[in-house]
Amino acid sequence: MKPQSPYLTDEAAIITGSGNGIGRALAFEVAGEGARVFLVDSNEQKLADTLAELHAKGHEAQGAVIDLSLAGSAQQAVDQARAAFGSIHMVVHSASPPRREADTWRTVTREIWDEMYHVNVKTGFELARLVGQHMIDEGIAGRMVYLTSLHAHTPRNLPHYATSKAAMLMLVKELAKAWARHGIRINALTPGAIAAGGFKPAGDLALKIPMQRLGSAQDVAAMGLTLLIDRFSGYVTGTEVVVDGGLSVFNWFDPVQ
C-alpha cells in the first residue's frame, strides 16, 4: 500500500468513455496520481482531444477508437491496452450510449435497446472478465469502477437505460463476490444529475437537489478515484457509492425553496 500521493505510480488503467464527461474527468484524476491511462471511446475527435490534453500535462496516455457496442470490442480494448502498457491494474467503465428522451417504452427500437445493453452490460461484463482473469493470473490486486445510475433503482422513462444500469449493478455484485478472495475490488459509482455531456438538465431540477446545484464530472471523478485507491477504499467492494448532492433523498412533500 502506497503511503501518500501519488498513489497510482507504476500502475495502468483502462478507462472507457474517456473522451467526454465523467470518464474524461476520471482519466485526468487517475493520470494525476501517476498511472498510465488507456482511453477507449467511439468518438475519434474527443478521444484525440483528451489524449492531447493529457500529454500536454505530461501524463502517460494512449488510446483506441473502439465502438463498444460491437462483438469482440472488449477483447480489442484489452489487447491494445496490454500491448501499450503490459499489466492492467484498474478498469473504469464509463462509456454509455446517449440517452434520448424520445426513446420511451412506446418508441425505443430493438437497435437502440441492443446498443445500450451491449455497451453497458455485455461489453461491461466481457471487459471485466478479461481483465479480472489477467489480474488473477498475474496476482494483481486490481480495482474496477463501473458507472451506474440512480435509475438502477427508480424509473427514468427510458426502460432500456434504467434496466441496463440495474443489470450493471448486479454484475458488480456478482464479480465483487467472485473476486474478493483474489484481492480484486469492483464497485458501482452512481452519479446523480451531473452536468456532463450525457445529461441535459431541464427546468428547476437544481432546486430539487438538497445541495441546490447540479453535480459536475469532477464531483463524480473525485469519488471514482477514491474507489480506485486502496489507501481510502481498501475494504470496499461490491457496493454502490452515490454522488448526487442528496438528490436521492429529495422528498416530494418538501416545499421547493
| Interacting residue ranges for ligand NAD, rule: CB under 6 A | 17, 19-23, 41-43, 46, 67-69, 94-97, 119, 147, 149, 191, 193-194, 196-199, 217
Long-range contacts of 220-224 (CB under 8 A, 24+ apart): 220/22, 220/25, 220/26, 220/147, 220/189, 220/191, 220/194, 220/196, 221/22, 221/25, 221/26, 221/28, 221/29, 222/29, 223/189, 224/22, 224/26, 224/29, 224/92, 224/145, 224/189
Q: Which is nearer to ligand NAD, 184 or 196 (CB)?
A: 196
Between the CA of residue 66 and those of 44, 76, 165, 240, 256, what are the distances in Å?
Answer: 9, 8, 21, 27, 44
Q: Which residue bears the cell 501519488?
A: 6
Shortest distance (Å) from residue 253 CB to ligand NAD = 25
**Rounded-to-integer distance, Cα 58 and Cα 32, Å:** 9
Shortest distance (Å) from residue 41 CB to ligand NAD = 5
Q: Which is nearer to ligand NAD, 198 or 245 (CB)?
A: 198
* Cell reading at 20: 467526454
Shortest distance (Å) from residue 65 CB to ligand NAD = 8
Which residue in 170, 176, 171 sits closest to 142, CA to CA?
176
Shortest distance (Å) from residue 107 CB to ligand NAD = 20
Q: Which is nearer to ligand NAD, 18 or 233 (CB)?
A: 18
Q: Which is nearer to ligand NAD, 20 or 233 (CB)?
A: 20
Q: Which is nearer to ligand NAD, 152 or 229 (CB)?
A: 152
Stated as kind and residue range, the H or E segment containing 39 is: strand 36-41
Q: Which is nearer to ligand NAD, 21 or 245 (CB)?
A: 21
Shortest distance (Å) from residue 70 CB to ligand NAD = 8
Shortest distance (Å) from residue 192 CB to ligand NAD = 7
Q: Which residue bears the cell 483506441?
A: 64
